Amino acid sequence: MREPLHGTTILAVRKNGRIVIAGDGQVTFGQSILKGNARKVRVLAQGGVIAGFAGSTADALALLERLEQKLERFPAQLARACVELGKDWRMDRYLRRLEAMLIVADARETFLLTGSGDVMEPEHKVAAAGSGAGYALAAARALYEYLDDPEMIARQSMAIAADIDLYTNQSVELVSLPA
């Protein structure tokens, strides 16, 4: 797997019949902050899938567009759409150069997709991507047993990541789906 991408934190938390994906809003270029309120979480498949991205915005948007096409081709089959995107991402010369990671989820499943062609379903009910992923993931796993609301877990975990990671800010967008 490639080294963690600098520039954001994306966190997914699945609990009590809901899935929440949170993303911070910071966009950086080198050591400079270009924007603090970017939207890095998107709703796909007519509201049936949510996705968050870390890495190059243009690259991630290109991948989300491809994922939308896969979801249209394989409706209500998130796993299959993700595997097909992963195969394309790994084998296509153009896609192979894209620098991004995606976390995608529907009411039943959550997947982490990487540029190495990996499509991973998290072992636990939380997943994270981006430069602050380790901090947000550790916080979410620690809070998971003590908080019932997945949105609260995500918010508090993202706040912890923003306090530690230089590339993550406190401007957090959350999108959820009932499971």
pTM greater than 0.85 (yes/no): yes
Rounded distance between C-alpha atoms, residue 167 and residue 71, angstroms: 31
Residue 3 lies in a domain: no
**What pLDDT is recorded for position 178?**
82
Q: How many CB atoms lie within 10 A of CB 55?
A: 26
CA neighbor of 176 nearest in space, from 9, 13, 39, 67: 13
Scanning the structure block, which residue is given the tokens 């636990």?
124
What are the catalytic residues? 8
Rounded distance between C-alpha atoms, residue 1 and residue 140, angstroms: 22
Number of compact structural domains in the chain: 1
Which tokens go with 43?
């709703």
Structural domain boundaries, residue 42: 9-167
How confident is residue 118, by pLDDT bands cut at 50, 70 and 90? confident
CATH of the domain at 64: 3.60.20.10
